[in-house]
Amino acid sequence: MSGGSTPLSPRCKDVMDRLLAQGKHISANIHDLIPLAQKAEDGDAAVLLAWFAAVQMEEEELVTNLLLRVNRCCRDAEGELREIDSELAKRQETIPKLLKSQRRHGVA
């Protein structure tokens, strides 16, 4: 890309919209399973599902923020995409952080 604004294809926004919808669908399914694990008195499964739900919420937030940024790319695609790429490169994995937190609290 060279100095100026290069609009993104509407397909890019469509992909992000679908990704967010899929994430919300997955979250709903996970939340539906938690009471079933509790009813079955399967504490390990309930904890694992709660962890999956927390991670999924983080992913939904990430996609929502990316979708907002993708929409802004229509005004300044080069600058916005460079910033998004830089931020995603710095993103740390959430799984080890959550597991350490659960172990500290005697959950896992």
H/E/C letters for each residue in the chain? CCCCCCCCCHHHHHHHHHHHHHHHHHHHHHHHHHHHHHHCCCHHHHHHHHHHHHHHHHHHHHHHHHHHHHHHHHHHHHHHHHHHHHHHHHCCCHHHHHHHHHHHCCCC
Q: Each residue of 74-98: pLDDT tens digit?
A: 666 677 777 777 877 777 665 566 6
Q: Could you tell me the pLDDT band of residue 40, with boundaries at 50, 70 and 90?
A: very high
pTM equals 0.59
Tokens 């694992």 -> residue: 48
CA distance 16 to 59: 12
Query: At the top level of CATH, which class does the domain 10-104 belong to?
Result: mainly alpha
How high is the pLDDT of residue 35? Answer: 94
How high is the pLDDT of residue 63? Answer: 84
Q: Each residue of 2-27: pLDDT tens digit?
A: 444 445 567 777 887 888 899 899 99
